[in-house]
Structure 1
Amino acid sequence: MSLLRQAGLRVRAVARVNFVNLLAVFFLLNIVALSRPAQAMDIKTVKSASGIEAWLVEEHSVPLVALRFAFTGGSSQDPADKAGVSNFLSAMLDEGAGDLKSAEFQERMEDIAMRMSYEDSRDTFYGSVETLSANRPQAMELLKLALTKPRFDDDAIERIRGQLKASIVYASRDPDRVAGNAWYAAAFPNHPYGKPKDGTLETISSITRDDLEAYRSRIFARENLKVVAVGDIDADALAKLLDEVFGDLPQKAKLNSVSDVAPPKKGSLTVTEMDVPQSVAVFGLGGLKRKDPDFMSAFVLNHIIGGGGFASKLMEEVREKRGLAYSVYSYLSPMDHSAIFLGSVATKNEAIAESLDVIRAELKKMLETGPTEEDLKNAKDYLTGSYALRFDSNAKIASQLLGIMVEDMGIDYVNTRNAQIEAVTLEDIKQAAKRFLDLNDLIVTVVGKPAGLAPRG
């Protein structure tokens, strides 16, 4: 047999192994990992020798480990003149580390069927790793390199810069993205929350290797680290893993001070013209923070208003009864330094004004009279009954638990969450509504060619 043919067979064999491994990871990530309900999960606290803490859910029937971690930081820690550094970094951490250049690093991850990804929010920088148990040592070594010794090679930086700039150009033509950015700019002027989280063409163009390294070295530290592991790993192994992967990070982060802020107590309507057949409107108010005693009541109320899909009041009034829009929704977004109630609707230009009138009327109704007992019962039934679906795979469990850690809700929150919802009364909802549904403060940003709308405020 020729050497060329032997080499070809080896390449095909490796490709088949990698393909099978990737299929295995995909399958394992999506199977039901725990047959018991979420409330019955055994969540352990694990502490490493150096003091790094993590939560652990053991599940040894599936040879997979899902790791989720987060650092306090996010885009609010971007330098004032360089919005987008955090997002840029999130795209660079699997682009080579240690002695491995980008292509080599990616090939190594593929060889062991490892998944690694990063993303940032306004307050947090997130990391995610999934690996087959047999490949855990190699996967954790790659993770450690990515966090502690990223290369930031010039060619990789320029390639990612090009991708990020292309994404920004695309977003500038997307009415949803433009309306969302305009809303945050109106709600949080002169504050990090008001800047485009992904940066601008100008700021992305100016970001250097030193900027990426400066952000990484300031934010990646043990004191502001949260970790969750779910799957085929025990407490002793996790404790060792924590020190092996994260132990070389500095103890203390160097976070910039970010002031608490609230949207202005003055309503406004901003219109950005774009030559599109449909207008997009984003509407919102100040909300309630996650640990506010009225938050759970507001959470149930929002489900009734616009968070419950086709069962929500906004969907019923705007779409079902009047056929004004295909979709309308709302949600609560508590952040570290603020909290908001936000919603959106998209419809043809000539119908956007009426749609917003209907939305205002429904919000006013919720403020003045509140929902019915039937509305409340249906919301509770859905919110409590669907909660277990958030925990039907290792990856989902890890993500949910990390969210609970980041929001500092306590390790027992999984067991108490449904009881908190069941305890909400109509009076509780009315009290919560009075605290954030002040339509005089409603900030609305519209993108398109809306008929009958004039900017104000």
Structure 2
Amino acid sequence: MSATLKHIKINNINVPIVFEEDKHLPILNLQLVFKNSGYIQDKNKNGLASLSAKLLNEGTKELGSTKFAQKLEDSAISLHSNIGFETFVIELSSIKEVNDKGLKLLKQLLNDPNYDKDVLEKLKTISTGGLKRKEHDFDYIASTNLKKILFKNTPLESPASGTIKSISNIKLSDIENFLNKTIDLNNLIIVAGGDINFKDLSKKLNSLLKDIKADNSNKFQEVKVSEKVQTKIIKKDTQQAYIYFGSPFYTNVSSNDNYKAKVASFILGGSGFGSRLMEEIRVKRGLAYSAYGYVSINKSHTYFTGYLQTKLESADEAKDLVIQIVDNFVKEGVTKEELDSAKNFILGSEPLRTETLSQRLHRAFTLYYRGLDFNYTEKELEKIENLTLEELNSYIQSHKEIKKLSFSIVRK
């Protein structure tokens, strides 16, 4: 990794910066990442974080949406906000010649968001329209209902976009309160890279962020996955069955054994053709066009999940087959051929994962956010290369919780 971890003091707060100088690219890529500030903070106002990010994309109160967007477009500056479950991100990207203009516009946005009732109503109308269209998106319905099962009574139970009812109840004051609590130096991690040295960047960041307060620190929340095995079937007028499934997987982002989870996940269902799920469900039985499954390891939660689509008359058979495949996977483990194939792909594809500056910055941020060293990936690849069949199968057999599969199915 070319990135380094540095710090900058702003208003007596030591703000971490994941930084990579790259003189080959005459650009600046800057991300203000606010931790513990995604839709994990929606609480009883589902969709609040998403709507808040969308409002920030509407420019400043002084200029309004159109004029602000025009200023960005005139200089080919990209400035937008987005959310994850754990993070709220404001990203700026520009060529070197207009860096100062981009930073100036970002500062105006931070100091003067477009808190306007008409803008909010427009965003609510657009969001509501999107949610109405999703009423006919059967993948979305199956996926959303699976999360209701797996993450019951947690912030992950509800979709990031909220519901039609929850969106209608969000007020301008809710967004102001959310952004005031989120955009705080105590929550901030900066990710930056491009053709700029750290000394110059530090000066620009001090000017950009000096007006940001340091009053609030959003607390990290761990999310538990339900162990209760359930099946929820939603009946819709559909020509095929949409089957989503998931189960607990006990690990955390700092576990020394996560490289084994990566290989096991790849073999079970993450590799497409050649994976156990695809081989058994599609190739051998022709029950689905595709079938996937993977272990998702996040700072706040980890779990196993997957999905497939099949003919209506094959839905029960496909569901039972998923249970059987996972059960056999835990009981019997993998073959030497599967392990060798997984190693070859993971090790061989590694250079493609860090080709671009944005890829390298994203990886460096992820490692820092998870409390891992920047050379973690290199060490992980060495461990994968040296992983034995006995070690992997012993690991797989120790994770019997993955067999506690719940299903969310949309069918006729």
TM-score, length basis structure 2: 0.93
Does structure 1 retain, via aligned residues, the 8 Å contact 2:18–2:361? no
Partner of 2:273, secondary structure, is: helix
Q: What's the C-alpha RMSD, in Å, of the aligned pairs?
A: 1.9
Structure 1, residues 291-350: CA drift from partner, whole Å, max 9, x if none?
A: 223322111100001111112111111111221111111122223332111101111211
Q: Tell me which moved more, 409-418 or 327-336.
A: 409-418
Code of the residue aligned with 2:395 in structure 1: it is A
Looking at structure 1, the residues matched to 360 and 220 of structure 2 have their Cα atoms a distance apart, in angstroms, of 32
The match for 1:301 is 264
The match for 1:447 is 410
Looking at structure 2, the residues matched to 370 and 382 of structure 1 have their Cα atoms a distance apart, in angstroms, of 19
Partner of 1:223, secondary structure, is: helix
Does structure 1 retain, via aligned residues, the 8 Å contact 2:334–2:389? yes
Which residues of 2 match residues 306-455 of structure 1 at below 5 A? 306-438=269-401, 441-449=404-412
The match for 2:226 is 264
Cα drift, residue 270 of structure 1 = 0.9
TM superposition outliers: structure 1 runs of 4+ over 4 Å: none
- Distance of aligned partners of 1:426 and 1:146 in 2 relative to their CA distance in 1, 3 Å threshold: farther
Identity %: 27
Code of the residue aligned with 2:241 in structure 1: it is S
The alignment status of 1:42 with 2:2, answered yes or no, reads yes
Which residues of 2 match residues 200-349 of structure 1 at below 5 A? 200-255=163-218, 258=221, 260-287=222-249, 288-349=251-312
Looking at structure 1, the residues matched to 123 and 321 of structure 2 have their Cα atoms a distance apart, in angstroms, of 43
The match for 2:88 is 125
- Match among 38, 63, 72 for residue 74 of structure 1: 38
Structure 1, residues 193-248: CA drift from partner, whole Å, max 9, x if none?
A: 11222111011011111111111111222222222222111111222233233333
Cα drift, residue 256 of structure 1 = 5.7
Structure 1, residues 434-455: CA drift from partner, whole Å, max 9, x if none?
A: 3444365211110122xxxxxx
Does structure 2 retain, via aligned residues, the 8 Å contact 1:68–1:398? no
Q: Tell me which moved more, 162-171 or 96-105.
A: 96-105
- Distance of aligned partners of 1:44 and 1:435 in 2 relative to their CA distance in 1, 3 Å threshold: same
The match for 2:99 is 136
The match for 1:96 is 59
Partner of 1:267, secondary structure, is: coil
Code of the residue aligned with 1:332 in structure 2: it is V
Which residues of 2 match residues 145-184 of structure 1 at below 5 A? 145-184=108-147
Structure 1, residues 367-419: CA drift from partner, whole Å, max 9, x if none?
A: 01111122112112211221221221222222222222332222222433322
Partner of 2:6, secondary structure, is: strand
Code of the residue aligned with 2:243 in structure 1: it is A
Q: Tell me which moved more, 431-440 or 90-99.
A: 431-440
Cα drift, residue 104 of structure 1 = 1.0
Looking at structure 1, the residues matched to 19 and 220 of structure 2 have their Cα atoms a distance apart, in angstroms, of 32
Number of residue pairs aligned between Structure 1 and Structure 2 = 407
Cα drift, residue 68 of structure 1 = 2.8
Looking at structure 1, the residues matched to 263 and 103 of structure 2 have their Cα atoms a distance apart, in angstroms, of 40
Structure 1, residues 147-173: CA drift from partner, whole Å, max 9, x if none?
A: 342122222211111111111111222
Q: Tell me which moved more, 213-222 or 262-271.
A: 262-271
Looking at structure 2, the residues matched to 79 and 262 of structure 1 have their Cα atoms a distance apart, in angstroms, of 16
- Distance of aligned partners of 1:394 and 1:256 in 2 relative to their CA distance in 1, 3 Å threshold: closer
Looking at structure 2, the residues matched to 412 and 74 of structure 1 have their Cα atoms a distance apart, in angstroms, of 27
Where in structure 1 are there 5+ consecutive unaligned residues?
Answer: 1-40, 450-457
Q: Tell me which moved more, 420-429 or 385-394.
A: 420-429
Looking at structure 1, the residues matched to 31 and 275 of structure 2 have their Cα atoms a distance apart, in angstroms, of 32
Code of the residue aligned with 1:248 in structure 2: it is D
Code of the residue aligned with 2:270 in structure 1: it is G
Does structure 1 retain, via aligned residues, the 8 Å contact 2:46–2:160? yes
- Distance of aligned partners of 1:341 and 1:323 in 2 relative to their CA distance in 1, 3 Å threshold: same
Looking at structure 2, the residues matched to 226 and 314 of structure 1 have their Cα atoms a distance apart, in angstroms, of 39
- Distance of aligned partners of 1:437 and 1:279 in 2 relative to their CA distance in 1, 3 Å threshold: farther
- Distance of aligned partners of 1:121 and 1:338 in 2 relative to their CA distance in 1, 3 Å threshold: same
